[in-house]
A and B are shown apart, each in its own frame.
Chain A
Amino acid sequence: MSLLAQIVDWSALGQTVIAAFLGGVGIAFAFSLGILGAARLTDSSRELGLIGTIGYGTLTAAGMLATLAAIVFGIVVMTSG
């Protein structure tokens, strides 16, 4: 076990796991929120009213922007390495 501890850079491996977890699950969450907003907007735009429309519109935009931001951040981190 101590040999493995010497050979393996557990800190870098741990950071890889955390980054992968945050990236993978975070993008899924953000994009799903965007889809939720878009689906509610297209399916029940008449029932929502102005506030509902603005709310779900904002949710859609925020979800998509967060997804885009995560992708850009990932590429920037890669290119800066």
Chain B
Amino acid sequence: MTEADVILVIVIGTALAFDFTNGFHDTANVVATSISTRAMSPRIAVTYAAILNFAGAFISLEVAATVAKDVVVGDVITPTIVFAGLIGAIAWNLATWFFGLPSSSSHALIGGVVGSALAAVGSEAVLSDGVIGKVLVPALIAPMVAFIVGGIAIVVCYRVVGRQRPGPVTRGFRLGQVVSGGMLALAHGTNDAQKTMGIIALALVANGSLDSSADPPFWVIISAATAIALGTYSGGWRIIKTMGTRIIKMDAAQGFSAQGAGSAVILASSHFGYPLSTTHVISGAVMGAGAGKRVSAVRWGVAGNMIVAWILTFPMAAAIGAITYGVTQIFGDGAVGPVLIAGAGIVLTVMAFIRRARSPVPA
């Protein structure tokens, strides 16, 4: 095994670790509304979401193509650059998980890779048209669309069923949430698992193991699907708490509207290859479903903290990616730097999990 192969194996392992944290971190997006309205028990909701996340990963490859081909120039990217970008994304994901903030795994991933590419090669390595046109502009528009669709959807629901007795209506919307939650999990698997597929494909192209115009191989698709499903099953209970109860107190109709709006936005975006943040979309939809009932029902302070985390995600992941690349270069171009950083990353991650396991989820 050559040194380049060692780096490639570390990159693939790190990409799958990112995919796991993506599922772990974003479980909240998928299940929080179903759990908070008691449409499903937590364990059943998480298992259901994991299965549909796995299935969703096989639906499309449009987003994977965008991540692999439209963000950075494949010809100048090395596996070490991809590795540094992944470390930037994982570090930001774990930091926001540690504080219970639902930030975007997608923007962390793309920010990390852009940051490490800038540090390694310079601005000519970044396809700014792709980053702006396929990532940043959709990133701004998608949560607003989800907010508006979620808001209108809940108004429609209340108008149609408003005069009925709450009991059957609540039971009906809880049943609907089983379906809308499933759609959301499928949409999440479709959009988010593809980002890891795209990153692994980028590393394979950089290593000369895959043609730059080829789709990700099947083993990449199935391993990314498995990693995100396992991460989802593990569950990120802190963020579930924030998403499910701390933004708005949700009823079943609001949960259904938010999940339906979120699924529609994510599935439509995946179809056109936009790697948007499922976190931003479902948060926007939850806020819209809250504001559609009553504007003051939304806890705007919590929403404000989340928006700050969103704004910081891209630059912070980019900065960590750039610094990580710089650190790897201290040890030369070989595998020593990535091996040492991957080892340090594992130790820090275990420490963070132990520390968090000792403290209760905040109310």
Number of interface residues of B (CB under 8 A): 49
A50 cross-chain contacts in B, Cβ below 8 A: none
Contacts of A4 in B (CB 8 A): 132, 137
Which of B17-25, B91-99, B164-172 forms contacts with chain A? Answer: B164-172
Q: Per-residue CB proximity of A38-79 to B under 8 Å, as 1/0?
A: 111011000000000000000000000001000100110111
Contacts A28-B260, A78-B271 given: A71-B179 contact, CB under 8 Å?
A: yes
Within 8 A of A (CB), among B157-210: 157, 159-161, 164-165, 168-169, 172-173, 176, 179-180, 183, 186, 190
Does B183 lie within 8 Å of A19, measured CB to CB? no
User: Are A17 and B141 also in contact (CB < 8 A) when A32-B160, A74-B264 are?
Assistant: yes
Stretch with Cβ within 8 A of A (4 or more), from B71-79, B104-112, B147-155, B242-250? B147-155
259-273 of chain B: CB within 8 A of chain A: 260-261, 263-265, 267-272
Say yes or no: A19-B264 contact (C-beta < 8 A), given A75-B186, A81-B271: yes
- Residues of B near A24 (CB, < 8 A) are 146, 149-150, 152-153, 257, 260-261, 263-265, 285
In whole Å, how far is B107's beta carbon from the nearest beta carbon of chain A?
A: 17
Q: Is the C-beta of B145 less than 8 angstroms from some C-beta in chain A?
A: yes
Nearest CB of chain A from residue B60's CB, rounded to whole Å: 5
Tell me if B176 and A31 are in contact (CB < 8 A). yes
The answer to whether B62 touches A71, judged by C-beta atoms less than 8 angstroms apart, is no
> Among the listed A8, A35, A81, which residue makes an inter-chain contact with B60, where contact means beta carbons less than 8 Å apart?
A81
Cα distance A21–B130 when bound, in Å? 25
Q: Closest approach, in angstroms, between the C-beta of A39 and any C-beta of chain B? A: 4
Given the interface contacts A8-B132, A15-B272, does A21 sit within 8 Å of B172 by beta carbon? no
**A contact residues around B310 at 8 Å (CB):** none
Distance of B287 from chain A, by nearest CB (Å): 14
Between A20, A28, A33, A43, the greatest number of chain B beta carbons within 10 A of the residue's beta carbon is seen for A28
Contacts of A16 in B (CB 8 A): 138, 145, 265, 268-269, 271-272, 274
Verify A67–B160 contact, CB threshold 8 A: no
> What is the chain A residue whose CB lies nearest that of B129?
A7
- Nearest to A71 among chain B residues (CB) is B183
Q: Considering the chains assembled together, what is the distance between the CA atoms of A33 and B159 in angstroms?
A: 10
* B156 CB, nearest partner CB in chain A, Å: 5
The answer, among B156, B271, B272, for a CB contact under 8 Å with A25, is: B156
In the bound complex, do residue B153 and residue A28 qualify as a contact, i.e. CB atoms below 8 Å apart?
Answer: yes
A74 near B270 with CB under 8 A, answer no
Q: Indicate if the CB atoms of B165 and A74 lie closer than 8 Å.
A: no
Q: Which residues of B contact A77 (CB under 8 A)?
A: 267, 271
Tell whether, in the assembled complex, residue A21 and residue B164 are in contact, meaning their CB atoms are under 8 Å apart. no
Pull 18 A–B residue pairs with CB atoms less than 8 Å apart, ordered by A: A13-B138, A17-B141, A17-B145, A17-B268, A20-B261, A23-B263, A24-B150, A24-B152, A24-B261, A24-B264, A27-B180, A31-B157, A31-B176, A32-B157, A32-B159, A35-B176, A43-B164, A71-B183
Known pairs A16-B269, A67-B176 / 14 extra A-B pairs, C-beta < 8 Å: A9-B133, A13-B272, A17-B268, A23-B260, A23-B268, A28-B156, A28-B261, A31-B260, A35-B169, A43-B164, A43-B168, A75-B186, A78-B271, A79-B60
Return the 8 tightest CB-CB contacts between A and B, nearest first.
A23-B264, A28-B153, A32-B160, A35-B172, A24-B149, A24-B261, A24-B264, A19-B268
